[in-house]
């Protein structure tokens, strides 16, 4: 780049363009634009080189080191909430990068064990080599799960783009069943995908440890509901399947990852009517988002887990959070201008 001082300005111009999109075409197009920016190398370069964006990003991210993550988990625990720690990073390009991420995650499991915080771990498949070679992902997860078993902990495999779902589920099942990691490994299903009703039915029959979320990526209308209302309806329906008596008999422990009060309320009503014990499932929310709702639910006796990311590769995670809520974007721009 010829003039790094102009970089924030260029990104700002792009954001203003996004806001004009919002004005002319509505929130859906703004989200599409931001999700594009979350994967654009040029935008990542512009934002992360300046250091300005970290001021805002740090609201969603515990810090850069494993010590920061453990400290955040301790704070979250002191508020009556459990944690899941995530070493940031995705779409690595070389086996060495995937191995580095694997080693950091093993170290994270050790640190959780030594510190005694109430936390498990979430990992992204593309961080451990999915896009290089699925065998590499499988082998790296094997190493991570060995340490999870040794330290009596659990690892959740996050779900990424729809094109990766089959491979991710295949590797998850192989590790869970063939390699015997059983309850040490879990997976995620995204309510916005058409296929998810079938996936949830199968996973429930297998007694799997599943997190349900709405889905955070830009997906074409051939595979995912374009309208939020349809995704919301799907989320509620899948949540009810995960909470059914049959699912609980098979040992399913449902985890509902949402900040949406309508979703939370629908689940609360269902468990009340069905007389499901409050410790038979958990709510999950992201670090820095809807903190008061997290605490309110915990105070009412619900289990709540906070997803705490840390590390230097925060850009894509951060921009996906902007895409989820336009108000975050105003906050971001306000800080850039200050
Ligand atoms: C613990 C956890 C794990 C996740 N794992 C995955 C995964 O593996 N794969 C995947 O695709 N997605 C994952 N997600 C992201 C998820 O798919 C959604 O993109 C995200 O949670 C927003 O959806 P929502 O259910 O909160 O509801 P929305 O309908 O997006 O939002 C409802 C309300 O929640 C609040 N809110 C939502 N997002 C934000 C935000 N960023 N900042 C401030 N307020 C906000 C706002 O008040 C908003 O009006 C995860 C989310 C959580 C909480």
Residues taking part in catalysis:
158, 211
Q: From the CB of 325, is ligand 1 less than 6 Å away?
A: yes
Q: Nearest-CA neighbor of 293 among 326, 324, 321, 265?
A: 265
For tokens 């001021």, the residue is 55
Mean pLDDT of 203-225: 96
**Listed residue (209, 94, 201, 68) closest to 145, CA to CA:** 209
Give domain limits for the chain. 4-57+318-337, 66-313
Determine whether the shortest distance from the Cβ of 236 to ligand 1 is under 6 A. Answer: no
Is the whole model's pTM more than 0.85, yes or no?
yes
Q: Higher confidence at residue 37 or residue 6?
A: 37
309 lines ligand 1 (CB under 6 A): no
Confidence grade of residue 316 (pLDDT, cut at 50, 70, 90): confident
Q: Is 288 in the pocket of ligand 1 (CB under 6 A)?
A: no
Q: Pick from 61, 219, 257 the residue to mutate for probing ligand 1's pocket: most ligand atoms within 8 Å of its CB.
A: 257
Give how far the C-alpha of residue 173 lies from the chain's centroid of Cα atoms, to the nearest Å. 20
pLDDT at residue number 31: 79
Residue 88 CA to residue 130 CA, distance in Å, equals 15
CA of 255 from ligand 1 middle (Å) equals 13
CB of 146 within 6 A of ligand 1: the answer is no
**DSSP conformational letter for 94:** S
Name the H helices within the chain: 7-25, 27-39, 41-50, 54-57, 66-78, 95-115, 134-150, 165-173, 196-205, 228-242, 245-249, 261-274, 291-299, 315-324, 326-337
CA of 1 to the centre of ligand 1 (A): 34
pLDDT tens-digit series, residues 271-302: 999 999 999 999 999 999 999 999 999 999 99
Determine if ligand 1 sits within 6 Å of the CB of residue 213.
Answer: yes
Distance CA 143, CA 138 (A): 9
CATH of 66-313, one of 3.40.50.2300, 3.30.450.20, 3.20.20.220, 2.40.110.10: 3.20.20.220
Tell whether the model's pLDDT for residue 199 goes beyond 70.
yes
User: How much distance in Å is there from the Cα of 247 to the middle of ligand 1?
Assistant: 24
Mean pLDDT of 305-321: 91
Ligand 1 site-directed mutation target among 30, 169, 186, 214, most atoms within 8 Å of CB = 214
pLDDT of residue 10: 63
Q: Does the pLDDT value for residue 117 go beyond 50? A: yes
Band the pLDDT of 329: cuts 50, 70, 90.
confident
């Amino acid at each position: 780049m010829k003039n790094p001082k102009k970089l924030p300005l260029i990104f700002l111009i792009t954001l203003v363009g996004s806001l004009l999109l919002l004005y002319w075409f509505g929130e859906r197009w703004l989200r599409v634009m931001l999700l594009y920016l979350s994967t654009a190398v040029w935008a990542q370069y512009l934002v992360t080189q300046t250091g300005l964006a970290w001021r805002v990003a740090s609201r969603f991210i515990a810090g850069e080191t494993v010590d920061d993550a453990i400290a955040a988990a301790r704070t979250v625990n002191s508020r009556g909430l459990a944690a899941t720690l995530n070493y940031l990073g995705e779409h690595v390009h070389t086996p060495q990068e995937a191995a580095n991420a694997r080693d950091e995650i093993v170290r994270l499991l050790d640190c959780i064990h030594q510190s005694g915080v109430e936390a498990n771990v979430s990992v992204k498949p593309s961080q451990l080599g999915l896009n290089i070679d699925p065998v590499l992902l499988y082998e790296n997860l094997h190493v991570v799960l060995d340490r999870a078993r040794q330290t009596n902990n659990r690892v959740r495999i996050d779900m990424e783009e729809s094109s990766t779902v089959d491979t991710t589920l295949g590797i998850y099942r192989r590790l869970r069943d063939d390699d015997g990691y059983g309850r040490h490994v879990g997976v995620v299903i995204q309510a916005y995908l058409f296929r998810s009703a079938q996936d949830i039915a199968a996973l429930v029959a297998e007694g799997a440890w599943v997190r349900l979320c709405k889905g955070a990526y830009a997906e074409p209308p051939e595979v995912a509901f374009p309208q939020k209302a349809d995704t919301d309806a799907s989320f509620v329906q899948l949540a009810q399947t995960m909470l059914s008596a049959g699912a609980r008999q098979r040992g399913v422990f449902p985890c509902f990852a949402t900040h949406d009060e309508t979703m939370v309320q629908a689940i609360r009503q269902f468990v009340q009517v069905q007389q499901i014990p409050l410790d038979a499932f958990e709510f999950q929310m992201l670090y820095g988002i809807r903190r008061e709702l997290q605490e309110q639910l915990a105070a009412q006796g619900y289990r709540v887990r906070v997803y705490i990311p840390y590390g230097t590769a925060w850009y894509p995670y951060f921009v996906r959070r902007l895409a989820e809520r336009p108000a975050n974007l105003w906050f971001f721009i306000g800080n850039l201008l200050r």
